[in-house]
Amino acid sequence: MPAPGVPPQAQPFDATLPATPYADAPQPIPTRPATPAQAPSAPEQGQSAEAAQAAAALRALRGVRTEVAKAVVGQDAAVTGLVIALLCQGHVLLEGVPGVAKTLLVRALSASISLGTKRVQFTPDLMPGDITGSLIYDARTAEFSFREGPVFTNMLLADEINRTPPKTQAALLEAMEERQVSMDGESRPLPTPFMVAATQNPLEFEGTYPLPEAQLDRFLLKLVLPLPSRDEEIAVLERHAKGFDPRDLAAAGVRPVADAEQLAVARAAVRRVTAAHEVLGYIADLVRATRASAAFEVGVSPRGATALLQASRAWAWLSGRDYVTPDDVKALAKPVLRHRVRLRPEMELEGVSADSVLDSILGAVVVPR
């Protein structure tokens, strides 16, 4: 923890940059057996039980990156983004070319937090009932019974979500927003925690259906997974040369270091993170600048502003603070906002990207001191 009166530096966060989000993290906690995470130890003298549980949850979640790194080389910032989404009860859109370990990343994360995960390959003929579940007629009882779909899990990996028609994409909207599935006049709650991690390929557009703005706005973060550096690619090859099997995470040594109970404690701690009036004004100024920008047809909505606040609070807590700084907001601005804006066609023709416009806005909006 920092010395009294000396605020720790906010760490950079962006899945497109070779940043090390946990640069201020302590050494990884010792490897635990492949069982649910241990209960937190007794509170230290002068420390409340609530604070002790929050500190144990923080250590555990900081250790998640170490576990995921046993299966995935690089992509540290993407791991951080997924953890932030879990803390905020949000969803994540992962964008990257095929083969950058998007699916493996989600599987390794769920294994390190003892969460259930299911994968759905989205295809043009996928029906809504294939995701949410359907009513099945039982000839023995002459009644219909509900058979749960893959959405009834903790982490749903929606692979290539833009390859299925809008009708099927819309089947996820209620699950993502209300965390329930309505069928035959009855609402069925989804497990807690619940997160959708959707992937899409930015290169192939034939046979795809772009996600509508209403659904894009439901994703807390859009993370862009870059190709590995030369050293990282050599590390990947070395692992495979030694017999690494991406289908067997246990053999790779990935073990749970946190569980759903610690995640709930962490969420409660994030809700206690404060944001000064000046920081709230900074967030409002940023989103209002996107609406006034000549480069955007559509700017960020108030939902995007609240999402930026939530993500900034989670990042501040992971950085060991109970308050949000403007640097936290700047660090999360692009992952939170890049999919909530729409460039004008002439800007796209000139090769301008949403990230470059957001960079200019971040440089122009006055930062509170």
Domain boundary among 256, 285, 318: 256
Q: What is the rounded average pLDDT for all residues in the chain?
A: 84
Indicate whether 46 belongs to any domain: no
Indicate whether 267 belongs to any domain: no
In this structure, are 195 and 281 located in the same domain? Answer: no
Distance CA 96, CA 117 (A): 21
Do the Cβ atoms of 48 and 62 come closer than 8 Å? no
Indicate whether 47 belongs to any domain: no
- Domain of 154? 64-124+150-256
In this structure, are 89 and 118 located in the same domain? Answer: yes
For the segment 135-145, the average pLDDT, to the nearest whole number, is 83
Alpha carbon of residue 233 to chain centroid: 24
Question: Which residues, at least 6 apart from 356, have a Cβ–Cβ distance to it below 8 Å?
Answer: none
Do the Cβ atoms of 105 and 64 come closer than 8 Å? no
Of the pLDDT bands very low, low, confident and very high (cuts 50, 70, 90), residue 304 is very high
| pLDDT value, residue 21 | 41
* pLDDT tens digits, one per residue of 239-258: 999 988 888 888 888 899 99
In this structure, are 245 and 317 located in the same domain? Answer: no
Indicate whether 347 belongs to any domain: yes
Indicate whether 8 belongs to any domain: no
Indicate whether 1 belongs to any domain: no
pTM above 0.85, yes or no: no
In this structure, are 102 and 161 located in the same domain? Answer: yes
Indicate whether 58 belongs to any domain: no
In this structure, are 119 and 226 located in the same domain? Answer: yes
Domain boundary among 256, 283, 298: 256
* pLDDT tens digits, one per residue of 43-89: 455 568 888 899 999 999 988 888 998 899 888 889 999 999 999 99
pLDDT score of 28 more than 70: no
In this structure, are 294 and 239 located in the same domain? Answer: no
In this structure, are 213 and 287 located in the same domain? Answer: no
In this structure, are 70 and 165 located in the same domain? Answer: yes
In this structure, are 169 and 104 located in the same domain? Answer: yes
Pairing of strands 143-148, 133-138: antiparallel
The domain tally of the chain equals: 2
In this structure, are 230 and 324 located in the same domain? Answer: no
CATH of the domain at 312: 1.10.8.80
In this structure, are 244 and 282 located in the same domain? Answer: no
In this structure, are 158 and 88 located in the same domain? Answer: yes
CATH of the domain at 81: 3.40.50.300
Indicate whether 43 belongs to any domain: no
Distance CA 171, CA 190 (A): 14
Q: Lowest-pLDDT range, 10-14, 78-82, 137-141, 268-272? A: 10-14
Distance CA 94, CA 246 (A): 19
| pLDDT value, residue 206 | 67
| pLDDT value, residue 340 | 94
